[in-house]
Amino acid sequence: MALQNSTSRPVKTVRFHQNWSAYAFLAPALVILFLSLLLPAVATLLMSFTDVSFLKPTSFIGFDNYIKLFNDTRFQQAVGNTIHYTIGVTFPTMLLGLLAAVALNQKVPGRMAFRTIFYLPVLTSLIAAAVVWAYVYEPYAGPLNGVLTRVGLPPQPWLQNPSLAMNALIIMAIWRDFGTAMIIYLAGLQDIPNDLYEAARLDGAKGKDIFLRITVPMLSSVTFYLLIILIVQTFQVFGAIYVMTQGGPLGSTETVVYQMYQTAFGYTEFGYGAAMSTILFLTILVFSIIGTRIMRRKDA
C-alpha cells in the first residue's frame, strides 16, 4: 500500500518532499540575496526609466535617461577612462603575477617570504593603501619625487597632472592586485604535472620554449579566469579614486562608477545614475557570460 501511495504522487511533489530540508537551509541565504542584490537591481532598473530626484516629483520618462547617456560627452569620457584603467591594470597585473608565480614556484631561497610579501598588499585596507599612495605621490614631500630629485630627474605632479593621474592610479592598483594574480597562477602552476616538463626537456625544449609551449598554454584556464575577474573588478573601481583624486584633475580619473556616484549622490539625479548603473551592470554581465562560456568549453 505504501508503495502504491508513493508511486501515485506526482514526481515533482515527491522531489520537493525529499529535498525540503535542502530548501530550508538555502532559504536564509536566498532571502538575504533577494533583499541585498536582486531587489536593489530591479529597483535600479525601474528607477532608470524615471527622473527620480530630491528636487522634483518623480515621473516615468521611458528611455530618456539612456538616450541622454549616449549623447553625454562626460559619460563617454568616463567610459574611456574606465577602459584605460581596466586595460592598464588587467594586463600588467596578470603579466607580473605570472612572472612572480613562475619565479616563486622554483625552489629559490626565501620563496615563502617573497610570496607573503607580494601578497601583503592584497590584505591591506584599500582606503589605508590609497592614503599611503596619495602620500607617495605627493608633489612636494612625497618619497617618489624625493627619489626622482635625488637621481637628477624633475619632480612630477603625479595626481595633479591630467596625463599622469590615471597612470598613477593604475600603478597603485597593479601593486595591490598582482599578489592575487600571483597566488592564482601559483595554484595553476602546481597543477601542471612535472612529467610534462621532463618530457619537454627530453624533447630538447629549453627555458623559453618550455614557458611558451607548455607553461602558458597549460595555464590558459587560469588566465581566462583571472582576465574575467580582473575586468569585472577594475570596471567597478571607486575607492582609490574617491580617496586620491575625486575623479580629477579635469575628469581625467573619473570612471563610470565614480561618475555614477557623483550623479546620484552628488547631483541627486538618481534616475540618471541608475541608467549608468544599468549599463555598467549589463557590460559586466556580458563579460561574465563570455568568461563562463569559455571556461565551460575549455573544461568540456
Partner 1 sequence: MARLELSNVSKSYGAFDAITDVSLAIEDGEFAVFVGPSGCGKSTLLRLIAGLDPISDGAIRIGPDDVTRRPAGTRSVAMVFQSYALYPHMSVYDNIAFPLQMERRSKGDIRQQVEKAAGTVQLSTRLKDKPSKLSGGQRQRVAIARAIVRKPKIFLMDEPLSNLDAALRIEMRTELTQLHKELGATMVYVTHDQLEAMTMADRIVVLNGGRVEQVGRPMDLYHKPVNRFVAGFIGSPPMNMLRGKVKAIESEYYSFEAAGIGTIVIDGLAKRLKIGEEVVLGIRPEFLAPHPAGSEPLVKIGVVPRSVERLGAQTIVHSVIEGQNFTCVFAGDQVVEPGRALNVYCDAANIHVFDAAGITVSRN
Closest distance between partner 1 and the C-beta of residue 213, in Å? 7
Shortest Å distance, C-beta 98 to partner 1: 16
Read off the DSSP letter of residue 180.
H
Identity (one letter) of the amino acid at 279? I
**Between 154 and 204, CB nearer to partner 1:** 204
Nearest residue (CB) to partner 1, 153 versus 196: 196
Matching residue, cell 530618456: 64
Q: Give whichever of 32 and 203 is closer to partner 1, judged by the CB atom.
A: 203
- Smallest distance from the beta carbon of 195 to partner 1, in angstroms? 4
- In angstroms, what is the minimal distance from the CB of 202 to partner 1? 5
| Distance between start and end Cα atoms, the chain | 45
Helices 270-299 and 39-47, axial angle in degrees (round to 10): 130
| Closest C-alpha among 242, 269, 266 to residue 253 | 242
Minimal distance, residue 229 CB to partner 1, in Å: 22
The grid cell for 259 is 561618475
Residue 35 has which C-alpha cell?
A: 533583499
Residue (42 or 196) nearer to partner 1, CB: 196
Q: Cβ 206 to partner 1, closest distance in Å?
A: 7
CB of 183 to partner 1, least distance (A): 23
C-alpha span between 106 and 48 (Å, rounded)? 52
Q: How far is the CB of 299 from partner 1 (least distance, A)?
A: 11
- Which residues pair with residue 215 across a beta bridge? none
| Choice between 13 and 106, CB closer to partner 1 | 106
8 Å CB contact between 179 and 94? no
Nearer to partner 1, 39 or 216 (CB): 216
> Would you list the DSSP string of 242-294?
HHHTTT-STTTT--HHHHHHIIIIIS-BHHHHHHHHHHHHHHHHHHHHHHHHH
Residue number, 57 or 204, with CB nearest to partner 1: 204
Instruction: Report the b/e string of 88-121 with b at 16+ CB within 10 A.
Output: bbbebbbebbbebbbebbeeeeeeeeebeebbeb
By the criterion CB under 8 A, which residues form the site for partner 1? 193, 195-196, 198-206, 209, 213-214, 217-218, 220
Residue whose C-alpha is closest to residue 219's, from 92, 94, 88, 107: 94
Nearest residue (CB) to partner 1, 9 versus 213: 213
